Chains A and B, each alone.
Chain A
């Protein structure tokens, strides 16, 4: 009989290993930790306001962008506070792969044709692969399309070219707040006078603060490392833009106040002649409409 009791005890011990239930959920939780969660929607659009954001078009997305800047608000009633003048920029941009996108555009400012490539290097993520920030690089080329001022001079095509290289480092700190730093380098093959720098380095900071699910306040500032304005042929200022970002399904709208008329990098980094302190502020809009040309590969 004593033996039986021992066996019964043994049986109970062994059987207890089979006890089910309470830890089913923790069992699955363990399985779920073996994945990587990438941050999404650090910004709502591929632009913060004027400059590039960390966001990319996904593979197969075509973005048609229309941007407008009116004249200066302080130009008075005769100019209808700037609304009589309009500068426009149109562009078509495409996501070749999730990690590389290209764009081609044409702007009123210096009748410029521009092209760029943006490449993802790192994505902010949690889990197996973890990174505190996202990093992308952007390189653009800008072709001034104005007629030559001095036709007597030897004029070459290369003189029309500007180049910009940027690194975007961004972090979504919370669902409602994202911040981006954008070290930038502008090179101009030809400038107006020998006093104007061919190269301008700058550091940009941009942020997004969500007000509601579909509305956010975006701000963007670039600090330019450049000679004093007294030394330049034209005074240039640090571009600062403040705007509302409104998302309505397939469209993203920006309503912007900015001291820059240039809507592309060579424009706002090299030719921001307005100053916020003097009231040289332009009202503007960006409209982005995205078309999906290719289906999501992961969807069957």
Chain B
């Protein structure tokens, strides 16, 4: 009887910590960049202030960024991006909210590189679309790094590109995501 109680007590104390081992991972300086290639012009922009949280136990992923924090080589392009294309004053943020479908395959306590499939809802320019992409989760001693690369068509998010610059802006933006997260 006594032994059982002690065992129960130990479990009570230890179990929450073991769950913590698969707890939440957070970053405030994730990097998301996009690259648009056309014959006329290559355009890239980087956002180094992406906030993201990954819940290791449920596989839930939430990513939020501010459109105005995308940095362009040419500042004028940056203003056009916010003012004319993304309408950042009306739609200041882009978000992704989804889950790692094969979260059980990821051993958060064992360092290594895991292939993952992520599905969820992406909102850009006030438009929400369900997307499903593949990526990797790299487990290190200090945290995890989530990475992915995928293609996106701005017109899917009702981002209007006038005919005049149609040849300068690709219909297939290459999006690169790297989120180095720390356990919290």
User: Which residues of A (7-41) have their CB < 8 Å from a CB of B?
Assistant: 7-8, 10-11, 14-15, 17-18, 20-21, 24-25, 27-29, 31-32, 35, 37, 40-41
User: Which residues of B (16-34) have their CB < 8 Å from a CB of A?
Assistant: 16, 19-20, 23-24, 26, 28
Closest CB of chain A to B29's CB: distance in Å?
11
Closest CB of chain A to B111's CB: distance in Å?
22
User: Which residues of A (273-297) have their CB < 8 Å from a CB of B?
Assistant: 290, 292, 295-296
A144 to B89, CA, bound (A): 44
**A binding-site residues for B, Cβ under 8 Å:** 3-4, 7-8, 10-11, 14-15, 17-18, 20-21, 24-25, 27-29, 31-32, 35, 37, 40-41, 58, 61, 175, 213-214, 247-250, 290, 292, 295-296, 298-300
- Beyond A32-B66, A37-B66, A295-B73, whether A21 also contacts B58 by CB under 8 A is yes
Q: Are B12 and A7 in contact (CB under 8 A)?
A: yes
Q: Are A41 and B79 in contact (CB under 8 A)?
A: yes
- Beyond A14-B12, A28-B62, whether A292 also contacts B68 by CB under 8 A is no
Task: Count A/B pairs, Cβ under 8 Å.
Answer: 115
- Beyond A31-B28, A296-B75, whether A213 also contacts B84 by CB under 8 A is yes
CB-CB under 8 A from A247, the residues of chain B are: 84
Q: Are B51 and A21 in contact (CB under 8 A)?
A: no
Q: Does B15 interact with chain A (Cβ within 8 Å)?
A: yes
CB-CB under 8 A from A25, the residues of chain B are: 62, 64, 95, 97
Number of contacting residues on B, CB 8 A? 52
Closest CB of chain A to B86's CB: distance in Å?
11
Contacts A175-B90, A300-B46 given; 6 further ones with Cβ under 8 A? A20-B24, A28-B51, A32-B64, A37-B92, A40-B68, A299-B45
A300 to B70, CA, bound (A): 11
Q: Are A292 and B8 in contact (CB under 8 A)?
A: no
CB-CB under 8 A from B90, the residues of chain A are: 175
Closest CB of chain B to A64's CB: distance in Å?
14
- Beyond A20-B55, A214-B84, whether A175 also contacts B93 by CB under 8 A is no
Q: Would you give the 0/1 interface string for B80-118, flagging 1 where the beta carbon is closer than 8 Å to chain A?
A: 101110010110110101000000000000000000000
